[in-house]
Amino acid sequence: MHQTAFQVRSLYGEEEALRLVCSYGALSALPYSRILEFKRKYPEIHLQWREYPDLQAEQQLVEGDYEIGLLVKGEEPFGDRYESIDLFSRCIRILVYEGHPLYERERLTYQDLKDEPLIMEGNDFRIYEVFRKKCMDAGVYPEIVAETGDIGFCHELCAMKQGLSVTIDFVTEYIRTGGVKALPLEEPEILWTVQLVRHRANRLSPAAEKFFRYICSGFR
């Protein structure tokens, strides 16, 4: 049986409780300082959040464990039963290790990736389907030789020359791996998009309504 907003709220006395489910990386890209600003503005709200791989985060929202999700957008719409608002997009990059023939390039084509061993997050993550779809649209079937749930490990394996890696631009801002370079792809670039998602049929709690409006206001 799922806890209701009222049941959760009662654990904190006069505080309002808000349960937020997030895809891995969504809060880092938001950035998290936006969450801290929300907490300062609404100190009466007890914010509880938890991260999951993208597909698991979606399932948590579907099952009703959370009122709102910060989720990574997939190729297909989230569903008519949900309101989904695109907040922001970041660009997917290809990580190339020093000494590789592509290392001195400033930009890569999809054809450059043909027959290249690639390391990336696995099919629990939307980046996997979005990247594969864009490559195949360009006539390239990516050779994914390793899948992991840790994008930092992708960077490490690339630095160890185990293959090129698929990453996201903001990740390279806080994971600084020596001996690698993050290169953009030709147009159309592949986007990693974060959405704010809620159930259409469920009325948001006052705390969730404040959060929904606050986050949306920062991107409109």
Average pLDDT over residues 4-33: 74
In tens, the pLDDT along 176-202 reads 888 999 999 987 789 999 999 999 888
Calculate mean pLDDT across residues 122-146: 94
Q: Let me know if domain 89-192 sits in CATH 3.40.190.290.
A: yes
pLDDT digits (tens, 9 = 90+) for 91-115: 999 999 999 999 999 999 999 999 9
Q: Which CATH class is domain 5-88+194-217?
A: alpha beta
For 33-42, the pLDDT digits (tens) are: 999 999 999 9
Paired strand residues for 198: 68, 83
The reported pTM is: 0.86
Domain 5-88+194-217 identical in fold to domain 89-192: yes
| β strands within the chain, DSSP E | 16-23, 45-52, 68-72, 82-97, 117-121, 143-148, 164-168, 180-183, 191-199
Map out the domains of the chain as residue ranges. 5-88+194-217, 89-192
Angle 39-3-12 (CA atoms, 0-180°, nearest 5)?
40
Report the alpha-carbon distance of residue 45 to residue 19 in Å, rounded.
10
Among 118, 76, 114, CA closest to 93: 118
Cα–Cα distance, 208 to 206 (Å, whole number)? 6
Rounded to 5 degrees, φ, ψ at 217 are: -65, -25
Determine the 3-state secondary structure of 50 from DSSP. Answer: strand
